[in-house]
Each structure stands twice: as structure tokens, then as C-alpha cells.
Amino acid sequence: QKGSRSVMYVALRLLFYLGVRRIFLLGCDFRMELGKANYAFEQERSAGSVRGNNSSYKILNVRLGRLVPYFREAGLEIQNCTPDSGLTVFPYC
């Protein structure tokens, strides 16, 4: 489970530091497809880039899943509101 950097960790931590205790994730699809519009802006991705990103999403899913008990203990509630998301460790709202 090496690699796979993500700003999601920092974003969640920053929100927690700012006093937010309920977070609703929007647009966290955690999946990428070759030849599809995978971002809110136009950008082509090679097959290797798509594989690499999808691998990172799987690793992040595992790592975030390991953090869920700590989030719960700290009173942080996170829900994923993205339909068909590959991010499966948070309840869907």
C-alpha cells in the first residue's frame, strides 16, 4: 500500500480543525475510465494514468476505511453523496 498521495486527507483534517463535524462528500467518484470526462475540466489521460489513478483510489479506500473508527471516536461524521462512487467506506446519503 505504498504511494497514492491525496489532498483528501488534508481536506478532511482541515475541516475537522475548523470545527466541522459533519461532512458530505460530493463528486468523490473514486473511479476513472479511459476516454471519459473524468474531471470537471478537459484533460486527456493515458491508459497508464487511468490504471494508476484507479489503483490509488483502491489504496485510499483501504486507508480511509482504517481511519473510520478514529473519525467516529472524534465525533466526525462523513457521508458520501456521490452516486455510484468507488469510495465505499463512508455511508451513502
Q: How far apart are CA 78 and CA 33, in angstroms?
A: 26
pLDDT tens, 35-63?
A: 777 666 567 788 888 888 889 999 999 99
Over residues 6-22, the pLDDT tens digits come to: 899 999 999 999 999 99
Between CA 27 and CA 20, with CA 69 as vertex, the angle to 5 degrees is 55
How far CA 57 is from CA of 16, 17, 31, 53, in Å, comes to: 22, 25, 7, 6
Cell of 70: 478514529
